[in-house]
Structure 1
Amino acid sequence: MIDLRRLQVLRVLRAEGTVTATARALHLTPSAVSQQLRLLSKEVGSELLRPEGRRVQLTPAAHILLAHADVIATEWEQTRADLAAHAAGAVGLVRVAGFATSFGSLLAPAAARLRDSHPRLEVQLRETDIDDSLRLLLAEQADLAVLPVAGAPPLDDPRFDQRVLLDDPQDVVVSADHPFAERDSVRLAETAHETWIAPHHDQFQLIEVACAAAGFAPRVAHRAAEWNSVLVMVAHGLGICLLPRLATTSPDHRVVRIPLRDKPVPSRSVLTCVRGGSRGQPAIAAVLRALEDVVRDRRGASGRG
């Protein structure tokens, strides 16, 4: 018999690359991780690791085992979903990881709905970046992640079940005294001679692709990791930026967001991501339905506006 917990240690090692990082992800000691892997090696009757300096290399046998481990993990998650549905329904703890701009428009409203509609369900929210969200899912430290882009990891990665929750269009954001501020809409090509502020890496990649499609490369003068910093610089006339519709502004920011009339409008996909086989677990399914309801209400409010 193979201990599924030891298989999970091997799966996390593949993702993390080192025993030390694996121990940190699983909240274990490095010696405990090494012991679990040694026991797993005995259980399958094959060497799974080969020392390589201070690191370890997965053997061919380990890669064969991992291919089956992903299938086994998905089946186990589905089994847990069926048992949970049979036993108690949507109760217990669901840990949700999300990116910063998903909180005000998606995660917090969904958690508030569930607090009222599912009092036996506890939802814990945690702000993370994409890589950390995936690590938390794989290490079973999170149950659901909301991710701002597609393709990381690939949609056919057997470890995860990823589905599009919504498309998040981009607006141009300028200072209140900018010549564009009185416009109802602009074309992205009209911003070719503007000074740009580069936000965090993933968002700036989207901006570069969108600007290239419009026929120019953005001339960047400033960079910032947080949206508040970007908006403060925009408000002071230091540059412009593309702002996702999910990212909120306040009167204190003294900026104006202007819709783009390009076809198609630059946009990013927002995904829900869970471990393979776990989407049907009642507690996780309840959170997913709440997120979908929030998205539906946002679309309705936009249509009425």
Structure 2
Amino acid sequence: MIDLRRLRVLRAVAYYGTVTAAAESLHLTASAASQQIRQLGRELDVRLLEPQGRRVRLTQAARGLLAHADAIEARWELAESELHALDGEPVGELRMAGFPSAMCRLLTPVAGALRAEYPRLDVRLREAEPADCYDLLFNGETDLAVVEASADAPARGDRRFEQQTLIEDPFDLVVPEDHPLAARTAVRLTEAAEERWIIGPPGVWSRQRVLAACSAAGFGPNVTHEACDFTVTGVMVSHGLGVALIPRLAQLSGVPSVRRLRITGTPCPSRTFLTVTRRGGTGSPAVRAALDVLRVRAKETVG
């Protein structure tokens, strides 16, 4: 019988890419993590790590073992969920994580609703960027996360996670209240082709979304200002410095004198929100209850 804790070390090495990073996530020393994997290899009579320059990499045998390790982890998660489901009512601790927009508009009100409906449920929230949310789930430090879909995130079919589309969050064109378009409720993106634009600086996720949308509409935006934060962008718009595309769920707290206009036609840019749990984790009554409330809240908020 192999030690399942050693399988978790192997999974962590595959997830983080290095023994050092895996050890840190598991609160082990790198030498202790390496020793765990060597011992696992001896138990199975296979070699799991091989040198690659100054680093090591997983062998083919290790990659084959990982498929079984992920399946075992998912089955254990499901077993725990079924045990907690015996009473039916959500109880105990539920940990949820998400990036700022998800926290403000979705997870915080959902946590309040869950506390009111299930007094024995202890809801804990944690703000985290999408990449960190996957790490928190993998390490067992959160139970449910709301993230934005991105190309560098784990694939939808990743056997370690269950990922479901929650909602599409459309981008609105934000203009000053005295702008010629401000009296409208909806516009086509091409109507802003001659405007001065405020977008994110290089490296910010929203920049590529805006540039891609404008390109699909047949124009390149005249970028005059750059800002990371949507509230800062909104303040710039309110002072007549340009127009911007801002997701509908992004709050413009305390920003006066701007108008949000719905984009019609094609392209109609949006970002996708996903719910993510560990594989097998949706069997938990607490997670199921949170997902139910979350879906209702998301539809109401974007609508």
TM-score, normalised relative to structure 2: 0.90
In the alignment, the residues of structure 2 paired with residue 41 and residue 170 of structure 1 have an alpha-carbon distance, to the nearest angstrom, of 51
In the alignment, the residues of structure 2 paired with residue 13 and residue 294 of structure 1 have an alpha-carbon distance, to the nearest angstrom, of 37
| Displaced runs of 4 or more, over 4 A | none
Q: 1:280 to 1:201 in 2, by over 3 A?
A: same
> Gapped runs of 5+ residues in structure 1?
none
Summarize deviations over 1:86-143 as a string: whole Å, max 9, x none: 2564122222121111122111110000111112212222222221111111111221
In the alignment, the residues of structure 1 paired with residue 42 and residue 178 of structure 2 have an alpha-carbon distance, to the nearest angstrom, of 70
Alignment of 1:261-272 (within 5 A): 261-263=264-266, 265-272=268-275
In the alignment, the residues of structure 1 paired with residue 119 and residue 38 of structure 2 have an alpha-carbon distance, to the nearest angstrom, of 43
Summarize deviations over 1:68-96 as a string: whole Å, max 9, x none: 22222222211111111125641222221
* Counterpart position of 1:255: 258
In the alignment, the residues of structure 2 paired with residue 253 and residue 26 of structure 1 have an alpha-carbon distance, to the nearest angstrom, of 47
Shift of 1:4: 2.4
In the alignment, the residues of structure 2 paired with residue 296 and residue 252 of structure 1 have an alpha-carbon distance, to the nearest angstrom, of 24
State whether residues 150 and 270 of structure 1, in contact with CA within 8 Å, keep that contact through their aligned partners in structure 2. no
Q: 1:196 to 1:78 in 2, by over 3 A?
A: same
Summarize deviations over 1:146-173 as a string: whole Å, max 9, x none: 1122653221111111111111111001
In the alignment, the residues of structure 1 paired with residue 43 and residue 103 of structure 2 have an alpha-carbon distance, to the nearest angstrom, of 44
Secondary structure of the corresponding residue to residue 158 of structure 1: coil
Does residue 1:234 correspond to 2:237, yes or no?
Answer: yes
* Counterpart position of 1:244: 247
Does residue 1:154 correspond to 2:149, yes or no?
Answer: no
Shift of 1:253: 4.2
* Counterpart position of 1:282: 285
State whether residues 25 and 136 of structure 1, in contact with CA within 8 Å, keep that contact through their aligned partners in structure 2. no
* Counterpart position of 1:213: 216
State whether residues 23 and 30 of structure 2, in contact with CA within 8 Å, keep that contact through their aligned partners in structure 1. yes
Q: 1:278 to 1:212 in 2, by over 3 A?
A: same
Alignment of 1:29-108 (within 5 A): 29-86=29-86, 89-108=89-108
Q: 1:73 to 1:241 in 2, by over 3 A?
A: same
State whether residues 9 and 36 of structure 1, in contact with CA within 8 Å, keep that contact through their aligned partners in structure 2. yes
Shift of 1:48: 1.1
* Greater mean alpha carbon deviation, residues 160-169 or residues 6-15: 6-15
Summarize deviations over 1:161-199 as a string: whole Å, max 9, x none: 111111111100122333322222211011112222223
In the alignment, the residues of structure 2 paired with residue 216 and residue 47 of structure 1 have an alpha-carbon distance, to the nearest angstrom, of 55
Shift of 1:250: 3.5
Shift of 1:296: 4.3
State whether residues 173 and 255 of structure 1, in contact with CA within 8 Å, keep that contact through their aligned partners in structure 2. yes
> Gapped runs of 5+ residues in structure 2?
none
In the alignment, the residues of structure 1 paired with residue 27 and residue 75 of structure 2 have an alpha-carbon distance, to the nearest angstrom, of 25
Match of 1:117, as an amino acid? Answer: E
* Greater mean alpha carbon deviation, residues 54-63 or residues 193-202: 193-202
Shift of 1:282: 1.4
**Number of residue pairs the alignment of both structures matches:** 300
* Counterpart position of 1:13: 13
Secondary structure of the corresponding residue to residue 294 of structure 2: helix
Shift of 1:272: 0.3
> Which of 282, 292, 298 is the aligned partner of 2:295?
292
TM-score, normalised relative to structure 1: 0.90
Q: 1:253 to 1:100 in 2, by over 3 A?
A: farther
In the alignment, the residues of structure 2 paired with residue 227 and residue 3 of structure 1 have an alpha-carbon distance, to the nearest angstrom, of 48
State whether residues 150 and 271 of structure 1, in contact with CA within 8 Å, keep that contact through their aligned partners in structure 2. no
